[in-house]
Amino acid sequence: WTPARLAIVPLAVLSGAAIYSGLAVIGATICFWTIKTPEVINVFTAGGSEAASYPVSIYSGLVRNAFLFVVPIAFANYPAALLLLGRSDPLGLPAWAAWLAPLVAGLFCGAALLFWRYGVSKYQSTGS
């Protein structure tokens, strides 16, 4: 264990929590327009947890990039795990990418907040 490896653990945990919080905000925003929102949220949270339980390198490029950069569920744990284990990514993700997890989580939360603000601006109550 090195100081860098010790530091990446809490960063990965906090980044993962922020990413899942962003998913919750996105799911809450979708509630403005749908009735069956829990199923939509479960696709991302439960499905994302299941997908993130395997190494991201087993997925095709499109799925891999979606879980790393679009809905970055895998970004908090996969690059950090590679760094902790001293392994390189078979598909070329650099080892220093693990340090980008807080940035990626912040960007994702920012996008979730913008989506929330959009949802609130378009919300129309039932009037009762």
Task: Please give the chain's pLDDT, 128 residues, in tens.
Answer: 889 889 999 999 999 999 989 988 988 888 888 777 677 777 777 777 777 778 888 888 888 888 888 888 888 888 999 899 888 888 888 889 899 999 999 999 999 999 999 999 988 776 65
Q: Give the global pTM.
A: 0.84
Nearest to 97 by CA among 76, 111, 116, 115: 76
Q: Give the integer Cα–Cα distance in Å for 19 and 32.
A: 21
